[in-house]
Amino acid sequence: MFSRLLPVIVISFTALSAFAQPSPGGVAYKDAIYSTVVQQKNLTYRQDPALKKRDCLYDWYEASADTAARRPLIIWLHGGGFKFGKKRSGGLPLWSKAFARRGYVCAAINYRRSKKHPLKNYPDLVEGCADAVEDTKEAIRYFKQHAKAFRIDSNHIILAGNSAGGMIALQAVYSSPAEMARLIHRGDSVSASAQLHNPEHVAGIMSYWGALFSLKWLQNGKIPLVTVHGSKDRVVPNNDPSKGLYGSQLIHTTADSLQIPNAIKIFDGYAHELQKHFNPLFAGGPARKRWVSAGNFAAAFLYDTLFRVK
């Protein structure tokens, strides 16, 4: 499958690179140094007959004039409460293009959506997240396997997402399958490998209005993370653990106490998805401007933490 898709990527890259040049000035991974982004849609990161084809698809973004031999990869994970959403939902295309202009390559992926009731039932929520984490790790393995062809720096793979996507990114790095299973009293049959934390060696996390299921899991590593949230978010609360979700402010405070490199940006007065009043079907221009601001903040943190020469 990969061998059939790669020529398409190469052809598109060659065709568009003739028309795009890097923007003058700027610093890679910090500033938008490229003007044009190539997008390839509906590629496949996993072959599994037990899964729906759509659950294994991704869209690929890279700057058309980017000729670097090894580039950091951001895997973007959509929101939707583990019940809805897809790789082109919400801010994913916006963030993928913005980070590709900085010199990253980006893959916005689909993952399995829950057939149960994750929006109402906590065990179903945890199970839905666990399935999505498994799919995300399959995607990481796929990109590492093809790192040379995609010109990926496999030492700098970053997970990022909004809402449910932010939760997936956090759990994938800071928890283990065994810990999530035990959280809902279903941990009797987990294997030894399921006890491992971040075996994929993810280098960083961007969580936009996401949450952890347990703050204790932050003791499992020191992977840099940046969090963004609205102060009036009622879907994934920023600072209220009563739903069993530990949002950005709680993560930030605990991460500081554990000396984990982290940064937080709170949009005061805004709700879920940084909207004034959350509407899952329509965000509007002002919310999209806040998404841009969130992306700029996260990019600055990643640059200072992972790439800037100290």
Give the whole-angstrom CA distance, residue 63 versus residue 252: 32
Record the tokens describing residue 113, joined without a space. Answer: 């959506």
Residue length of the chain: 310
Q: Which residues of the chain have pLDDT under 70?
A: 1-24, 188-189
What is the structure's pLDDT at 309? 83
Give the whole-angstrom CA distance, residue 126 versus residue 183: 8
Task: Give the position of tokens 């928890």.
Answer: 175
CATH (domain of 141): 3.40.50.1820
What is the structure's pLDDT at 298? 98
The residues, any chain, with a CB within 8 Å of residue 66's CB and separated by 6 or more, are 34, 100, 103, 105
What is the structure's pLDDT at 189? 64
Strand pairing report for 225-230 and 262-267: parallel
Sheet holding 37-44, edge to edge: 37-44, 57-63, 105-109, 71-77, 152-162, 204-208, 225-230, 262-267
**Burial annotation 88-110 (CB, 10 A radius, 16+ → b, else e):** ebbbbbebbbbbbbbbbbbbbbb
The range of the structural domain enclosing residue 154 comes to 2-307
Phi, psi of 31 (to 5 degrees): -115, 160
> E-strand spans in the chain?
37-44, 57-63, 71-77, 105-109, 152-162, 204-208, 225-230, 262-267
Strand pairing report for 105-109 and 57-63: antiparallel
Q: Give the pTM.
A: 0.92
Record the tokens describing residue 35, joined without a space. Answer: 């003007």
pLDDT digits 0-9 by tens, 190-228: 788 899 999 999 999 999 999 999 999 999 999 999 999
Tell me how many domains the chain contains: 1
Task: Give the position of tokens 């973007």.
Answer: 76
What is the structure's pLDDT at 188? 64
